[in-house]
């Protein structure tokens, strides 16, 4: 009886330690968003989360680009995503987005702001909800995106294209003045004005741009780092200005990582599983201009759920399926500030040298009028 009881107890411990914990706070935010999209759909959620369109956002007629969907949602290059994949919102043409009254995005510097006719109505720690009025107050004649999505339109799988390992990170860049002047001449001919979304350029590194323990695994094509034993990876990040930054880890996090900057503990990211990739906020921190040391510690297993080890081999391989580091992103919080900037064609020089997410040619005439 003692042997049987011990075996049952030991098997329960193994099952308990090897479970995968759902990201409950993220799911709770989707449940809250469902109340706000009810009757205000259809809803476009730009994130690979199977439970979002199948359950949590059900009252808003949701669709996801990389999930089961009744319609085709092409990117600007004509490709369509399949499980598992992700694309920046600006990788989709305006024609793909316009049918959707509500748009749900992750709250992250790797994601673009939706086009100007959608306004922010709710924000949580992980998600943002954007909605447009009916009818739209203005007509967007052209939407010109900037950022790395122009080089890497998607990562993951596409039904009519190759699998792409590398995800885009910065959704912002500084356009050239001659290019902006060309857009201004085009706007003038169409009796339109220019509307730009300014946001700060993030400071980022790819997951493998660190020194890591020799037992960890690196995926060269995606630059993803996978820990397979407790240890600490160390990176050095250069910051151009002294101000507050919000730190995000991109990847998937079971047992996760403890994060320190210059030896100071900032937080732990764990129990944030993702079907493809997550962008998880860690902490706000003030950093001076210059180079700072950033450490990512994959901790020892403990008695909490989801911390199991493969005892048969002595290797910590179970959690390695669920913990990976794709990139680290610091978003400046103080300047330059994020804002919509409207200029006439004659004032286009005001947009020069600004970090921009996108520029639009906008007519004051409402869509459909």
Using pLDDT thresholds of 50, 70 and 90, give the confidence band for residue 13.
Answer: low
- Please tell me the CATH code under which domain 203-332 is placed: 2.60.120.260
pLDDT tens profile 196-229: 999 999 999 999 999 999 999 999 999 999 999 9
- At 314 the pLDDT is 41
Give 315's DSSP letter.
B
Distance CA(175)–CA(357), nearest Å, equals 10
Q: Using alpha carbons, select from 131, 109, 102 the residue that is nearest to residue 119.
A: 131
Name which of 40-54, 188-202, 301-315 the model is least confident about. 301-315
Tell me the C-alpha distance between 93 and 178, whole Å.
24
Among 273, 276, 269, 343, which residue's Cα sits nearest to residue 299?
269
* pLDDT at position 307 over 90: no
Of the candidates 284, 256, 286, 290, the residue with the CA atom closest to the CA atom of residue 270: 256
Q: What are the boundaries of each domain within the chain?
A: 24-199+336-363, 203-332
């Amino acid at each position: 009886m003692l042997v049987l009881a011990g075996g049952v107890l030991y098997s329960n411990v193994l099952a308990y330690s090897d479970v995968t914990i759902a990201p409950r706070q993220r799911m709770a935010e989707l449940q809250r968003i469902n109340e706000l999209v009810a009757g205000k759909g259809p809803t476009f959620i730009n994130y690979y989360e199977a439970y979002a369109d199948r359950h949590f956002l059900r009252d808003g007629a949701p669709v996801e680009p990389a999930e089961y969907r009744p319609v085709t949602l092409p990117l600007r290059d004509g490709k369509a995503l399949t499980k598992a994949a992700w694309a920046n919102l600006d990788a989709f043409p305006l024609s793909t987005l316009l049918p959707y009254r509500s748009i749900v995005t992750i709250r992250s510097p790797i994601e673009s702001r939706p086009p100007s006719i959608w306004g922010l109505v709710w924000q949580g720690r992980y998600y943002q909800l954007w909605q447009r009025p009916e009818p739209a107050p203005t007509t967007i004649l052209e939407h010109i995106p900037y950022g790395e999505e122009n080089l890497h339109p998607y990562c993951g799988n596409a039904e009519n294209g190759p699998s792409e390992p590398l995800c885009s990170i910065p959704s912002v860049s500084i356009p050239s003045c001659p290019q902006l002047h060309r857009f201004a001449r085009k706007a003038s001919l169409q009796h339109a004005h220019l509307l730009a979304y300014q946001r700060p350029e993030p400071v980022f590194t790819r997951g493998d741009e660190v020194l890591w323990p020799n037992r960890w695994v690196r995926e060269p094509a995606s630059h993803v780092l996978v820990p397979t034993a407790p240890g600490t990876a160390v990176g050095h990040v250069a910051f151009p200005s002294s101000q507050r930054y919000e730190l995000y880890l991109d990847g998937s996090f079971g047992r996760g990582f403890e994060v320190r900057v210059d030896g100071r503990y900032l937080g732990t990211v764990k129990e944030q599983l993702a079907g493809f990739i997550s962008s998880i906020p860690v902490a706000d921190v003030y950093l001076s201009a210059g180079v700072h040391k950033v450490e990512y510690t994959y901790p020892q297993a403990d008695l909490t759920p989801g911390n199991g080890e493969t005892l048969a081999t002595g290797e910590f391989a179970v959690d390695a399926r669920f913990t990976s580091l794709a990139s680290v992103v610091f978003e400046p919080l103080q300047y330059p500030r994020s804002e919509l900037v409207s200029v006439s064609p004659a004032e286009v020089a005001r947009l020069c040298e600004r970090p921009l997410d996108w520029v639009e040619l906008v007519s004051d005439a409402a869509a459909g009028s």
